[in-house]
Amino acid sequence: MNELRLSPEAQADLEEIKAYIAEELENPSAALATVSRITKSMRLLQTHALAGAPLSSVADVESDYRFLVSGNYMVFYRAYGNTVYVDRVLYGRRDYMRVLFGDTETTE
């Protein structure tokens, strides 16, 4: 079984997702369900580290990143040996390339 490690940014992303849905959308039960669904998707990586698609399959970029789609969210991670590093959990319509790589030139 792979070890799953969440970056501080990924942990903050989950908290922000929960807070946004609970407070801005005024739906605490949906907030908990959404975060639960995302974490369940991430747990899949403990047994199937390559379950997600390579980022290079959707963007013209050389990267070790892979991603899983969980509802409206994308889980970006890297798998090395028996460890899976979850770097970010982002809303699917967000400019994830800019979040992951900054202002570097990439084509989507």
Supply the CATH number for residue 16's domain: 3.30.2310.20
pTM score > 0.75 for this model? yes
Q: Which of 19-23, 67-71, 103-107 has the lowest mean pLDDT?
A: 103-107
Q: Is residue 85 domain-resident?
A: yes
Q: How many CB atoms lie within 10 A of CB 13?
A: 23
Residue 35 has which token pair?
């975060």
Q: Which of 53-57, 58-62, 77-81 shows the lowest mean pLDDT across its residues?
A: 58-62
Phi/psi-derived region of residue 24, left when phi > 0, alpha when psi is between -120 and 50, beta in every other case: alpha
Alpha-carbon gap, residue 14 to 55, rounded angstroms: 21
Note whether 86 and 6 are within 8 A (CB): yes
Task: Examine residue 79 and state whether it is found in any structural domain, yes or no.
Answer: yes
Count of the separate structural domains present in the chain: 1
Q: Which domain holds residue 27?
A: 3-92
60 occurs within a structural domain: yes
